[in-house]
Amino acid sequence: MTEITLLSLLAMLAVWSTFRVKESDDIGHKIGEKMDKLWDITHQSMRENKMLRAEKALLTILKIDQKNAAAYNRLGILYAKQKEFKDAIDCFEIASTLEASASSLHNLGLIYYETGEYSKAVIAFQEALDYEDELASRHIAFAKALEKVGDDKKMLIELERAAELEPNKETLNLLMGAYEAKSMEIEASQIKKKLDKLIIPSGKTSRVLRPRKIVV
């Protein structure tokens, strides 16, 4: 009798366990669907410049997942577009703490630069490049911050790296201008020759993102 009861109990536990797993999967699926909808609302609202709606969607995401670095990064972008720089900095700092990325750190550097905190901008840009250093625009932003703190030697290195990565009209002009400002006539002349030889295919332009532009 005891054996039968024990077997019955084990069978009941197995059924209950299966039910709980299924229930947990259903909840997880529903949360995932809700998060997807909230992200869709966020992207659409920001495209349509409906910032309040986007903000509400992002804050809802963060209520569900308080450690969502992507949501903090996007919220920082939203605040930056509205020139609410203090809130933007807070969001980018949290995003970088939760899950440091080149994007969140670069965005943080851009806001520091915009608000005149050039030393902090230098640190943020350097950290962003430690994660990813293949975009000319990030080296240019770093160079501009370095110029503000008086580190001309490193500024030139960063502009040279940008021109190396993307040897187009904009990067070469920036580098040539920097050489000329430092009376480095030979170097400036060499860049001028490269510019003269530069051929941009018809119908195409090669541009570098401006340092102040927020990364999505």
Q: What is the DSSP string of 87-139?
A: HHHHHHHHHHHHS--HHHHHHHHHHHHHTT-HHHHHHHHHHHHHH----HHHH
- List Cβ neighbours of 68 (8 Å cut-off, separation of 6 or more): 61, 62, 98
**DSSP label at 168?**
S
Q: For residue 18, what pLDDT is reported?
A: 63
pLDDT digits 0-9 by tens, 126-175: 999 999 999 999 999 999 999 999 999 999 999 999 999 999 999 999 99
Q: Residue 188 region, left (φ>0) first, then alpha (ψ -120 to 50), else beta?
A: alpha
Q: What is the pLDDT of residue 26?
A: 61
Residue 51 tokens read as 């910032």
